[in-house]
Amino acid sequence: MSVPTTTDPVERARVAAARESWAEAYELLHAHDRHPSRGLTADDLSVLADAAWWSGHVDESVTARLRAHAAYLAADDHRGAGLASWWLYYEYAGLGRPAAAAGWLHRARHHLEDLPDCPEQCFLEMTAAEEASAHGDHGTALAATRRMTALALACGSPDLLALSRQAESRVLLAAGRRTEGLALLDDAMCAVSAGELSGMVTGWLYCLALTQCMEAADFARAVEWTNAAMEWCAPPWTGRPQDRDTAAGPATEDFPAAAAPLPMTVPSGENPFRGVCRAHRVEVLDLLGAWALAEAEARQACREVPVDCLESAAAAYYAAGDVQRRQGRLEAAAVSYGHAHELGRIPQPGLALLRLAQGRADAAVAGVDLALACRSDPDHDVLGRARLLAARTEVALAVRDVPGAATAAADLDALSGADGDVPLLRALADTALGSVALAEKRPGALLPLRRALAGWLELRVPYEAAQVRMLLAAACRAAGDEEAARLELGTARAVFERLGAVPDARRAAALLSGGSRRRLPGGLTAREAEVLRLVASGGTNKDIARALVISEHTVARHLNNIFAKLGVGSRASATAYAYAHDLV
């Protein structure tokens, strides 16, 4: 016999919300709420707010939450009003309205702080921990997370307990207590993977964990949790998330179109966490060398990211720019970096490396230096700072600033050592140290470069491994081992070709052939290439004229032609171009 079901739409909506069928709950409550004679209780308005958020109607979520708060207040329910206030703080913060967010946080504290211990106070402690940690007060932040844990244990809520574990892990990581922090993060994620938590907290923890793993340069955890997150985000009407991977169109298209789109409301009934998790996945796929898929996923992520998570769309655009830059699609990369900047992300160090590839060395140096100055706190986003230092090393070497490169490499080495010898940081540091030693023509370059290669291979990060092989080839040639150099170049060339890194593949091929029949870049003549090599070696017009047995007037004419062909305006920019295109 079938079980009779209620015809009351509000009761049906409550049942739908209880099983997290948010689109159904939204449609029922939204339709019911349009009739003025049919009022909704404060609890029903809270359900409507949740359902509207999950269905992509963020503005309606805020409106329903405001009404819920008023209803709780009218009923003198300070716990309900306090929780509604906190969620309004959270939603307004996500929508980029800090003044409104601050006001509602103050109200949440007014409602909840003087009450006996209750679950709703967990959210106040979590916010207190975030604020203290942002000011570098790790002791106060840690005390707040532990008060949150005590409250969560007292009320027996798996959701609040997992959130408290994650909050404490974030504080510990910021305080440099990496082992303890990662252990607590794993504890929280066990509850996620076991399916013990609500959908909201599950998605929340996936987003927070993926961000933490990448900022802490824990690549192995990032890969594991990214795959798990995308499996969880997959809509029920498809089999695996990979079924939709190619739906975003061919990866050879420029990404995105010329005008920056503003993402987007999530289509009704879809998981609003999917676009955010997919944006994290793009960065992982980029490192793993799955560039075509990474670019397609970035395009899809920017269609799916909710309007209150635009930083995730910015991250996807930035990662796409990195892929395009290394493929030699420099104009497309510039567009992607521009979109990331419009959405609030500083597109560095990718933009600096793009300028270096374009021969604009001055812009490259200025860009990476400014980004480093803006990110002076190494406790936040360790990987971001490490990447900036690695790029600073590369840019400095390109403009023959070996002391500057050595300083950046030493800072990167210290950052890696201070963080417990994390494999990803260690590989970045060894690459930088080896490239500086090679530039200084020291015999010790081979050791850090071999360590770097082993590190990248263990992490299964192919592009960086191939780049290190190019450096190893130069070191082997300097040591007189031509056979080893050719082996490294051949392997690097094969990897670059497989990845689609066209400029690097051409450079490896030219080095393998000895450069004897190579077509010169930029339309340079053989004589102009000779002049450019001498400029890059630090020669004045008089030095060049003496070396080539020509007049200084002829040297000046060649330089004018070189600057015009390469689109550069200074000797420094021309030198950077020469190094970037292996003319030196």
- pLDDT score recorded for residue 537: 82
Q: Residue 46: CB partners within 8 Å, gap ≥ 6?
A: 64, 65, 68, 80, 84
369 touches 376 (CB < 8 A): no
Write down the mean pLDDT value for the chain.
87
Portion of the chain with pLDDT greater than 90, in percent: 57
378 pLDDT band, cuts 50/70/90, is: low
216 pLDDT band, cuts 50/70/90, is: confident
514 pLDDT band, cuts 50/70/90, is: low
Task: Tell me which residue of 336, 250, 261 sits closest to 304, measured CA to CA.
Answer: 261
What's the rounded mean pLDDT across residues 317-346?
93
164 touches 152 (CB < 8 A): yes
Residue 280 above 60 pLDDT?
yes
230 touches 293 (CB < 8 A): no
Portion of the chain with pLDDT greater than 70, in percent: 90
| Residue 547 neighbours by CB distance under 10 Å | 14
How far apart are alpha carbons 126 and 113 in whole angstroms?
13
**Locate tokens 């009022």: which residue?**
39
- pLDDT score recorded for residue 416: 87
How far apart are alpha carbons 103 and 80 in whole angstroms?
17
Structure-model confidence comparison of residues 419 and 175, the more confident one: 175
56 touches 275 (CB < 8 A): no
488 touches 472 (CB < 8 A): yes
Q: Residue 546: CB partners within 8 Å, gap ≥ 6?
A: none
Residue 79 above 80 pLDDT?
yes
SS3 of 289, please? Answer: coil
Task: Tell me which residue of 450, 460, 445 sits closest to 405, measured CA to CA.
Answer: 445
Residue 259 above 70 pLDDT?
no
- pLDDT score recorded for residue 270: 66
Give yes or no for a cis peptide into 256 (omega within 30° of 0).
Answer: yes
Structure-model confidence comparison of residues 114 and 104, the more confident one: 104
Angle ∠(98,351,399) on CA atoms, nearest 5? 135
- pLDDT score recorded for residue 248: 34
Structure-model confidence comparison of residues 379 and 538, the more confident one: 538
Q: Residue 22: CB partners within 8 Å, gap ≥ 6?
A: 16, 50, 51, 54, 55, 269
Q: DSSP labels for 13-28?
A: HHHHHHTT-HHHHHHH
CB burial class (10 A; 0-12, 13-18, 19+) of residue 139?
exposed
437 pLDDT band, cuts 50/70/90, is: very high
55 pLDDT band, cuts 50/70/90, is: confident
176 touches 164 (CB < 8 A): no
What's the rounded mean pLDDT across residues 373-380?
66
- pLDDT score recorded for residue 106: 97
Task: Tell me which residue of 496, 499, 457, 450 sits closest to 476, measured CA to CA.
Answer: 450
Q: If you count them, how many residues does the chain have?
A: 584
| Residue 169 neighbours by CB distance under 10 Å | 26
Q: Of 61-75, 242-256, 507-521, which gets the smallest average pLDDT?
A: 242-256
Q: Of 169-183, 410-424, 428-442, 453-467, which gets the smallest average pLDDT?
A: 410-424
Q: Of 38-52, 373-387, 442-456, 467-481, which gets the smallest average pLDDT?
A: 373-387
pLDDT in tens, 123-177: 999 999 999 998 889 999 999 999 999 999 999 999 999 999 999 999 999 888 8
- pLDDT score recorded for residue 566: 86
Q: Of 37-41, 478-482, 567-571, which gets the smallest average pLDDT?
A: 37-41
- pLDDT score recorded for residue 3: 43
**Locate tokens 């190494």: which residue?**
378
Q: How far is CA 19 from the centre of its chain?
A: 33
- pLDDT score recorded for residue 379: 53
Most confidently modeled range among 27-36, 248-257, 413-422: 27-36
Rg of the chain over all Cα atoms, to the nearest angstrom: 28
564 pLDDT band, cuts 50/70/90, is: confident
Task: Tell me which residue of 323, 286, 246 sits closest to 461, measured CA to CA.
Answer: 286
- Enter the tokens of residue 496: 């670059």
169 touches 184 (CB < 8 A): yes
26 touches 50 (CB < 8 A): no
Residue 407 above 80 pLDDT?
yes
- pLDDT score recorded for residue 518: 53
Residue 31 above 80 pLDDT?
yes
- Enter the tokens of residue 576: 């950077």
Q: What is the 3-state secondary structure (H, E, C) of 345-414?
A: CCCCCHHHHHHHHCCCHHHHHHHHHHHHHHCCCCCCCHHHHHHHHHHHHHHHHHCCCHHHHHHHHHHHHH
What's the rounded mean pLDDT across residues 423-449?
93
Angle ∠(345,373,101) on CA atoms, nearest 5? 45
Residue 214 above 80 pLDDT?
yes
What's the rounded mean pLDDT across residues 411-434?
87
Residue 417 above 90 pLDDT?
no
- pLDDT score recorded for residue 550: 84
Residue 245 above 60 pLDDT?
no
